[in-house]
């Protein structure tokens, strides 16, 4: 059974996977949207406003009873003990009942219905369905939809989230000659596509059928017997800790410590150097069809300090040779001076590979003398069996023998990006969303993926790297970076304190954003991040990181991921989203305001802890820029309209109180009060909240800047609520006083009096409903048949119900319940009544139209500009997909091994020969599963250690 050398304390290494998962999961957090928190505050304010209105009306009742009420006692004598004070007290509670419609009780029910409908849109979206795995997008919660339209920070894992975690042998350079690229007759580089002819490996019956390579020159060079090329692949076939498994003759399966190693051994296999089997002392390979057995004399294992791995073998001809592969910076220091010219050529190729975001390794070898080797083996045995300073003595021996190496070439392995990742990140950056990558990978790999994903760009003003090993060093590097980005920034952060929550008992502290001219990026390694997350450095880290467009944190533990998210949540008061695919992302997903799980090859732990899930990172673009933005826009429109219609409805009662002696009489018919929110205005506003969209999805992708108002919370906030109240106050004044003035001294065409309470109530409520529907039409940008049906249907239902309830038949059946007999037919057949309705509607709507027209003309928003463009021109066709531009840079992947200690000691010990099939199923994850049918490599990956280091 295979065991990796533990990189954790012994106690932690004995924990099972379930225990580790439970430790990584973090505390469950009850998530609520920022609109929910705002609504709670507003509801408290509304209760206070209701009490204020009722108090004003109660005081008015007391004053009226003292001044005017005594006149009515002649024919309406008061009961004994009843006075103005008691009447005022009773009227207060009467008005609490009448004006309670200002409190949005039905609001919460409507909000949940809207959220449920918008969550179904995500579930039903075919453009977020991944047919390869039969995985649709899934909204696992129905309470966070509008929060998707307010994201400011995205925290993403790398491996399996941005990349496919599938390594492929892409290019190589052998003895100064590069392979892997195709050129036409004029010497121009040819883009490799699915239609490009592949190298035929049919001559090799042991080749992996899933391996794909396009440069035919490399295969021809190897088959012609080129010694450097054959040594190159011989090294790849010998220098590793891969374990082979051959279930059937010729069907090889590789169990690799890392996907990189599996990819390299598979490449050697296809080019004729097939690693077939191993024992603790030998390695058997097939060299161009001939079986050759090498004696394994020593394995100089990989670790994070050495950044290289070597094996010492003896061939059948007695030649002893050391094969070494590792980071270019490490290998170059140990090369023989005669390799300087070849090293310069190879360095140029490595720079090109780094420009393509590939992970590179340099290969070298050294012939060994028999007598020297005997002495070295003796000293190696002594060092490996000593009890004191064993590691130091072994490192000295390794340094001694790994000198004067001869350069063979370099490999370039691609950790394939998921489809559409660069385009998605580019779109999200245009939407002014900041993206932070939190990965357990080494710095070089994370940087390369950053360039490949368009998170890091050469046109950025500067990319800061924080790699200090002391707290003061980290502070100094962060401050230097901040001063370069904003020289005039104050040394101390601008901290704002505020009160929030229930009764403002919760104190919040926020660090304000600082303006930066240009785009910057920050790369910080694990040691520096550990210091930066300490209490005295948190604010400094946050200030510097938030000034950058992109932040990449390397070698991050699962706990540190959650701490970084929590730091931004605590001090930025911004909406955060975390996305990942594995168990090590669970704590981050739970900590963020919104957690997104990707159902990939790492299991379902992330999905089960998430709020939304899908199969590919590229779907995040549609989730935010389309569904999130629409949900936020719809919810804000709904809240503004809901508060407007309820406040307008209630304020008319308030003004009427001054004309009825503050007697708590209702201005509308009781049945209208009952049906107003339940029937007449419920469906139209729901139709708008479920179907409305300012622009369609294609225009949303074309202009991702449309998303920017969401994170700034511009559509609905406390100011918007106050504006809504002022609008309601104006509309209620018009809706009360215009019908009152029109009905005061009016007579019918036949001379009969029409100025009665019942006719005025009918006119006022009809004007109110007409104005509410017109206002809804003004707020609706996207009309559907459902919207039309609801709007016209609500008006038709009002008139049908009104004529029915005010009919003679209903009065005769339920005399006390329907006292408005004949009011509808007597009032609504008068031209002046309809003229009053028209005038009232015009006075309510005309200022709104004029105000919006002036805003659009003088201060148009991005939405206004795009909608204007939408009317003028057709949507342009999607831009052709272009090949990524090559980046010439000195940054390149240093090495492509696993992060943990290598398995060299295990391979030479012989313990791997013990057969324990039950345990083996736990340790190895086969990639020949249905999910990996299209993978170009066919090997297994040892899953003993997690991809990212656990927190002890």
Q: Is 157 annotated as a binding residue?
A: yes
Pair 526, 443: CB distance under 8 Å: no
Q: Is 247 annotated as a binding residue?
A: no
Six token digits for residue 800: 């049908």
Reference 619, options 579, 586, 587, 565; nearest CA is: 579
Q: Is 555 annotated as a binding residue?
A: yes
Q: Is 400 annotated as a binding residue?
A: no
* CA–CA gap between residue 765 and residue 827 (Å, rounded): 13
* CA–CA gap between residue 590 and residue 4 (Å, rounded): 30
Q: What is the DSSP string of 271-299?
A: TTEEEEEE-SSEEEEEETTEEEEEEEEEE
Instruction: Verify whether residue 395 is a known catalytic residue.
Output: no
Q: Count Cα atoms within 13 angstroms, Cβ side, for 560.
A: 27
* CA–CA gap between residue 377 and residue 368 (Å, rounded): 12
Give residue for tokens 């200002």.
Answer: 102
Q: CA separation (Å) from 782 to 145, 682, 696, 845?
A: 20, 18, 9, 20
Q: Is 389 annotated as a binding residue?
A: no
Pair 606, 598: CB distance under 8 Å: yes
Six token digits for residue 165: 């975690």
- Catalytic site residue from 157, 208, 260, 328: 157
Q: Is 581 annotated as a binding residue?
A: yes
* CA–CA gap between residue 101 and residue 699 (Å, rounded): 39
Q: Is 159 annotated as a binding residue?
A: yes
Q: Is 163 annotated as a binding residue?
A: no
Return contacts of 32-35, CB within 8 angstroms, 24+ apart. Answer: 32/143, 33/143, 33/144, 33/146, 33/147, 33/593, 34/147, 34/150, 34/575, 34/713, 35/146, 35/147, 35/635, 35/636, 35/639, 35/716
Q: Is 439 annotated as a binding residue?
A: yes
Angle at 878 between CA 877 and CA 881, to 5 degrees: 135
CB count within 10 Å of CB 461 equals 12
CB count within 10 Å of CB 922 equals 13
Dihedral of the CA atoms 560, 565, 569, 570 (nearest 10)?
10
Compute the chain's Rg from CA coordinates: 37
Q: Is 585 annotated as a binding residue?
A: yes
Reference 715, options 652, 779, 758; nearest CA is: 779
Reference 923, options 261, 257, 278, 165; nearest CA is: 257
* Phi, psi dihedral angles at 296 (to 5 degrees): -90, 110
* Phi, psi dihedral angles at 326 (to 5 degrees): 180, -165
Return contacts of 594-601, CB within 8 angstroms, 24+ apart. Answer: 594/31, 594/144, 594/147, 594/148, 594/151, 596/620, 596/623, 598/160, 598/161, 599/133, 599/135, 600/160, 600/161, 600/164, 600/165, 601/160, 601/165, 601/931, 601/932
* CA–CA gap between residue 63 and residue 88 (Å, rounded): 9
- What kind and span of H or E run contains 130? none
Q: What is the DSSP string of 575-609?
A: EEEEEESSGGGHHHHHHSSEEEEE-BTTBSHHHHT
Assign residue 318 a region: left if phi > 0, alpha if psi is -120 to 50, beta otherwise?
Answer: left
Pair 840, 735: CB distance under 8 Å: yes
Six token digits for residue 637: 């429109």
Cite the annotated binding site by residue number. Answer: 157-159, 261, 302, 325, 359, 439-441, 555, 561, 581, 584-585
- Known catalytic residues? 157
Binding residues for Mg(2+): 157, 159, 581, 585
Query: Binding site membership for ATP: which residues?
Result: 157-159, 261, 302, 325, 359, 439-441, 555, 561, 584-585
């Amino acid at each position: 059974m295979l065991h990796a050398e533990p990189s954790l304390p012994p106690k932690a290494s004995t924990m099972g996977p379930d225990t580790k998962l439970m430790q990584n999961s973090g505390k469950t957090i009850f998530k609520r949207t920022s609109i929910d928190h705002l609504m709670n505050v507003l509801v408290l304010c509304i209760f206070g406003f209701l009490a204020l209105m009722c108090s004003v009306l109660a005081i008015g009742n007391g004053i009226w009873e003292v001044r005017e009420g005594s006149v009515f006692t002649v024919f309406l004598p008061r009961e004994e003990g009843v006075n103005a004070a008691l009447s005022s007290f009773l009227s207060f509670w009467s008005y609490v009942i009448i004006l309670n419609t200002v409190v949005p009780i039905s609001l919460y029910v409507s909000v949940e219905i809207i959220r449920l409908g918008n969550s179904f849109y995500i579930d039903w979206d075919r453009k977020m369905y991944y047919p390869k795995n039969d995985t649709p997008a899934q909204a696992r919660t129905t309470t966070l939809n509008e929060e998707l339209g307010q994201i400011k920070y995205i925290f993403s894992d790398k491996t399996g989230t941005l990349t496919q975690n599938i390594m492929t042998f892409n290019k190589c350079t052998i003895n100064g000659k590069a392979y892997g690229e195709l050129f036409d007759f004029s010497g121009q580089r040819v883009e490799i596509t699915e239609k490009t002819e592949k190298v035929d490996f049919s001559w090799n019956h042991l080749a992996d059928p899933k391996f794909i390579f396009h440069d035919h020159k490399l295969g021809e060079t190897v088959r012609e017997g080129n010694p450097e090329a054959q040594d190159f692949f011989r090294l790849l076939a010998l220098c590793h800790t891969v374990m082979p498994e051959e279930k059937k003759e010729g069907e090889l399966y590789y169990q690799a410590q890392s996907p990189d190693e599996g990819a390299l051994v598979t490449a050697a296999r296809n080019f004729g150097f097939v690693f077939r089997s191993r024992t603790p002392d030998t390695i058997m390979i097939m060299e161009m069809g001939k079986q050759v057995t090498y004696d394994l004399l020593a394995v100089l294992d990989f670790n994070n300090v050495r950044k290289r791995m070597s094996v010492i073998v003896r061939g059948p001809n007695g030649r002893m040779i050391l094969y070494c592969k590792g980071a270019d910076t490490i290998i170059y220091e140990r090369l023989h001076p005669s390799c300087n010219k070849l090293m310069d050529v190879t360095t140029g190729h490595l720079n090109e590979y780094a420009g393509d975001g590939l992970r590179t390794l340099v290969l070298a070898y050294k012939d060994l003398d028999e007598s020297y080797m005997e002495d070295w083996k003796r000293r190696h045995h002594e060092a490996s069996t000593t009890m004191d300073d064993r590691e130091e003595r072994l490192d000295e021996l390794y340094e001694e023998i790994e000198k004067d190496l001869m350069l063979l070439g370099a490999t370039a392995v691609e950790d394939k990006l998921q489809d559409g990742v660069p385009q998605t990140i580019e779109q999200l950056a245009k939407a002014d969303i900041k993206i932070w990558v939190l990965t357990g990978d080494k710095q070089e790999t994370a940087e390369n993926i950053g360039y490949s994903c368009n998170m890091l760009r050469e046109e950025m003003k500067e990319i800061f790297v924080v790699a200090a090993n002391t707290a003061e060093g980290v502070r100094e590097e962060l401050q230097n970076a901040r001063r370069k980005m904003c020289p005039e920034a104050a040394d101390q952060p601008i901290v704002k304190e505020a009160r929030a929550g229930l009764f403002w008992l919760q104190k919040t502290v926020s660090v304000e954003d600082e303006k930066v001219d240009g785009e910057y990026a920050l790369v910080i390694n694990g040691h520096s991040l550990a210091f930066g997350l300490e209490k005295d450095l948190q604010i400094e880290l946050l200030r510097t990181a938030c000034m950058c467009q992109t932040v990449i944190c390397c070698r991050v533990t699962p706990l540190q991921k959650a701490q970084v998210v929590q730091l931004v949540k605590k001090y930025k008061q911004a909406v955060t989203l975390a996305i990942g695919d594995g168990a090590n992302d669970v704590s981050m997903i739970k900590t963020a305001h919104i957690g997104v799980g990707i159902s990939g090859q790492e299991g379902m732990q992330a999905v089960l802890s998430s709020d939304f899930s899908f199969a590919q990172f590229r779907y995040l673009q549609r989730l935010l820029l389309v569904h999130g933005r629409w949900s936020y826009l719809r919810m804000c429109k709904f809240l503004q309209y809901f508060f407007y219609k309820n406040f307008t409805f209630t304020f008319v009662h308030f003004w009427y109180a001054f004309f009825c002696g503050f007697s708590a009489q209702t201005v509308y018919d009781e049945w209208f009060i009952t049906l107003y929110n339940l029937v007449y205005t419920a469906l139209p506003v729901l139709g708008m909240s479920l179907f409305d969209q300012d622009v369609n999805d294609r225009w949303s992708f074309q202009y991702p800047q449309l998303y920017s108002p969401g994170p700034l919370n511009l559509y609905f906030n406390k100011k918007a609520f106050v504006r809504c109240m002022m609008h309601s106050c104006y509309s209620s004044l018009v809706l009360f006083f215009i019908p009152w003035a029109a009905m005061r001294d009016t007579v019918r065409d036949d001379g009969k009096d029409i100025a009665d309470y019942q006719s005025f109530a009918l006119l006022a409520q009809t004007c109110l409903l007409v104005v509410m529907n017109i206002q809804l039409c003004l707020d609706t940008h996207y009309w559907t048949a459902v919207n039309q049906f609801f709007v016209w249907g609500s008006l038709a239902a009002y008139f049908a119900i009104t004529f029915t309830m005010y009919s003679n038949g209903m009065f005769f059946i339920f005399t006390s319940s329907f006292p408005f007999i004949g009011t509808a037919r007597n009032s609504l057949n008068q031209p002046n009544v309809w003229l009053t309705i028209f005038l009232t509607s015009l006075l309510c709507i005309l200022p709104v139209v004029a105000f919006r027209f002036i805003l659009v003309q003088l201060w148009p928003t991005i939405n206004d500009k795009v909608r204007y463009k939408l009317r003028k021109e057709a949507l342009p066709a999607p831009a052709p997909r272009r090949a990524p531009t090559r980046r010439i840079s000195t940054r390149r992947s240093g090495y492509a091994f696993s992060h943990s200690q290598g398995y060299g000691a295990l391979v030479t010990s012989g313990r791997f020969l013990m057969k324990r099939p039950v345990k083996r199923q736990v340790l190895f994850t086969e990639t020949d599963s249905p999910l990996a049918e299209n993978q170009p490599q066919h090997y297994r990956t040892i899953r003993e250690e997690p991809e990212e280091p656990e927190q002890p």
